[in-house]
Every structure is written in C-alpha cells, then in structure tokens.
Amino acid sequence: MELVPLREGFMLAGVLFALGLIGMLVRRNLIFTLMSIEVMLNAAGLAFVVAGARWGQPDGQVIFLFILAMAATEVSVGLALALELYRQYKSLDTDVISRMKG
C-alpha cells in the first residue's frame, strides 16, 4: 500500500465541506438542503478517517461509524419533517416557513 499524502486528504475533506455549505446556503428546496447536510457530514467523517489513517489507529473509523449512525437518524427525522412541511404548506421552499420572523 502506498502512502496517501495527508494534506491532500484534508484538502479534499475541506473542499467537499465547502461545497456542501454552498449547497445548503443557496438551495431553497428542503430536500436539497438535507442532501447538502449529508455531504457536509460525509466530508467531516472523511477528515476523521484521514486522521485515523495517519496514526494507524481504528479510532477515526469508529468515529465515522458514529457519524454515520447520527446521519441516518437525522435524515429520517428530517425527511419526516419535509413530508410534514409539504403537507402543510404545499411547498418545499424553506423561505416559506418564516413565521418566527422578527
């Protein structure tokens, strides 16, 4: 196994995270927002695994596992909320749900 340079690994994670961030800030559709969040979570987990690989310990992978579990939970609840949103407002636009304004 050849070695993977860590800098590039982290950079990859960073870029993916930034892309996810852009996606979350720009898209108004709730589904897209949730997808962007998944991207960000994935990027964070990638960073952990890279770090774990640096030290040669499975700790990074373990943490990724936990992140995975958490992402699964969050997605299920989030999508249930998205369904509820669609039912009540007949639209998936997050800007519509701004009753907490002011």
Site for another protein in 21-40 (CB under 8 A): 21-29, 31-36, 38-39
Q: E strand or H helix at 10, and its extent?
A: helix 6-26
Please report how close the Cβ of residue 36 comes to another protein at its closest, in angstroms.
6
Taking CB under 8 A as the rule, does residue 14 contact another protein? yes
Please report how close the Cβ of residue 22 comes to another protein at its closest, in angstroms.
5
Taking CB under 8 A as the rule, does residue 82 contact another protein? yes
Taking CB under 8 A as the rule, does residue 89 contact another protein? no
Query: If you write DSSP's letter for every residue of 34-90 in order, what string do you get?
Result: HHHHHHHHHHHHHHHHHHHHHHT-THHHHHHHHHHHHHHHHHHHHHHHHHHHHHHHS
- 30 phi and psi angles, rounded to 5 deg: -65, -35
Taking CB under 8 A as the rule, does residue 101 contact another protein? yes
Which positions from 36 through 65 interact with another protein, judged by CB under 8 A? Answer: 36, 38-39, 42, 46, 49-50, 52-62, 64-65
**Residues 6 or more apart whose Cβ sits within 8 Å of residue 42:** 16, 20, 71
Taking CB under 8 A as the rule, does residue 10 contact another protein? yes
